[in-house]
Structure 1
Amino acid sequence: MAILNLIFECFWFLLPGYLANSAPVFARKINFLDYPIDFGKKINGKRLFGAHKTFRGYFFGIIVSILTVYVQTLLMNNPFFMEHSILNYSNHNFLLLGFLFGFGALFGDSVKSHFKRKIGIKSGKSWFPFDQTDFVFGVLIFVAPVFIPSVVHMAILVVFSLLMHLTFVYIGYLLGIRKQPI
């Protein structure tokens, strides 16, 4: 039972990052702030981040993260969530915390995309395990000024996120939503 509690604590902690990382996919058809964050700039003929990293994605990712942290803050009055949270959200400004989770997740993904371009991996192609864990490291770095999880929690965050990502990507592949199984 202790391991399930740890997994839930990690999931609950990283939920704003998970949702922020997913939000750009759902917002991609919205014609708002559809400008690349790298402004089309290139280094050695390669885009810094690529055309898929947009201000729209950051905007919606951060908004979703802020809303998620707001709900988590409200739920801190519930004994279940108080007992199973590694971070007491009600002790922090939900706007700041939501921004840090959202921006951290998206920035981690953007940094990984930069290195993918740099070593010649095309957009949409898998770069295991970095595609599955980039946002976790971004969240951990940007949330660190406010909260640092234990080493055990950090390890579970990375492993659980990797396994969860692989599971959902494979389901997407089986449903015909994704072209590659990983």
Structure 2
Amino acid sequence: MLLSVVAGALWAMLPAYVPNNAAVLAGGGRPIDGGRTLGDRRLLGDGKTWRGTAAGTLAGVTLAVGLNAVAGLVGDATGVRLPTFPLVAAFGLSVGAMVGDVAASFLKRRSGRQRGAAFPGLDQLDFVVGALVCGFLLAPTWFRVTFTLPRLAVVAVATPALHVGTNVVAYRLGLKDEPW
């Protein structure tokens, strides 16, 4: 039972976990905020780009399509029933992860933090909140079936650890300027 809950939760979140990493790899280009400021601070900063956002969203949706293709095989091999993703849910999770990250960037700028500065809690869960909200708004029936309370609890506990771990790896590979 515990294996099923954990595996189902992490599987369901994969289309939300991947977009920010893909955005880092494909980033660059025109900033979403176009260089605009609010008061004396940038709205978002150079780190939030249209190309990164589009690439991240596309990566998440593409991953969901791939997961759909193998869910039955993986489920049979592990004895765990894994969720599949309607396209609208895949899009909601992926674009929601990007929207959550952009919203966090806005909050960081308003609080006076520079690009890349740590904001504990927000840094680890911004994309999760965005993904879950957008997933719910775009595919409410699928969301209710997929994200049970036990699965949401796993997401809330596991995501910060996974986020920190992947950021440390990206930092050591030279893909990020800071390990958070």
TM-score by length of 1: 0.83
1:46 aligns with 2:41: yes
* CA displacement, residues 125-148 of structure 1 (integer Å, 9 cap, x when unaligned): 111111111111111000003113
- Map 1:53-92; keep pairs closer than 5 Å: 53-78=48-73, 80=75, 83-85=80-82, 87-89=83-85, 92=86
Q: Which structure features the higher share of helix residues?
A: 2
Does the CA contact (< 8 Å) of 1:76 and 1:88 recur in 2?
Answer: yes
SS in structure 2 of the partner of residue 78 of structure 1: helix
Residue 71 of structure 1, CA deviation: 0.9
Distance, in Å, in 1 between the alignment partners of 2:8 and 2:150 is: 11
Amino acid at match of 1:21: N
- Structure 2: stretches of 5+ with no match in the other structure: none
Q: Relative to 1, partners in 2 of residues 1:76 and 1:179: Cα closer, same or farther, differing over 3 Å? A: closer
Larger mean CA deviation between 140-149 and 115-124 belongs to: 140-149
Distance, in Å, in 2 between the alignment partners of 1:176 and 1:58 is: 21
Does the CA contact (< 8 Å) of 1:69 and 1:97 recur in 2?
Answer: no
* CA displacement, residues 54-82 of structure 1 (integer Å, 9 cap, x when unaligned): 11011101111111111122224437169
Q: Relative to 1, partners in 2 of residues 1:127 and 1:59: Cα closer, same or farther, differing over 3 Å? A: same
SS in structure 2 of the partner of residue 97 of structure 1: helix
- Map 1:1-182; keep pairs closer than 5 Å: 2-28=1-27, 34-78=29-73, 80=75, 83-85=80-82, 87-89=83-85, 92=86, 94=87, 96-145=88-137, 146=139, 147-148=143-144, 149-172=147-170, 175=172, 177=174, 180-182=178-180
* CA displacement, residues 80-130 of structure 1 (integer Å, 9 cap, x when unaligned): 169432x332xx2x2x23321211000000101100000011111111111
Distance, in Å, in 2 between the alignment partners of 1:65 and 1:181 is: 23
- Structure 1: stretches of 5+ with no match in the other structure: none
Q: State the superposition RMSD in angstroms.
A: 2.2
Larger mean CA deviation between 123-132 and 68-77 belongs to: 68-77
Query: Which consecutive segments of 4 or more residues in structure 1 shift more than 6 A?
Result: none
Residue 166 of structure 1, CA deviation: 1.7
Does the CA contact (< 8 Å) of 1:62 and 1:98 recur in 2?
Answer: no
Distance, in Å, in 2 between the alignment partners of 1:68 and 1:60 is: 12
Distance, in Å, in 2 between the alignment partners of 1:38 and 1:179 is: 21
Q: Give the total of aligned pairs.
A: 171
Distance, in Å, in 1 between the alignment partners of 2:55 and 2:100 is: 16
Amino acid at match of 1:38: D
Amino acid at match of 1:88: T
Amino acid at match of 1:17: A
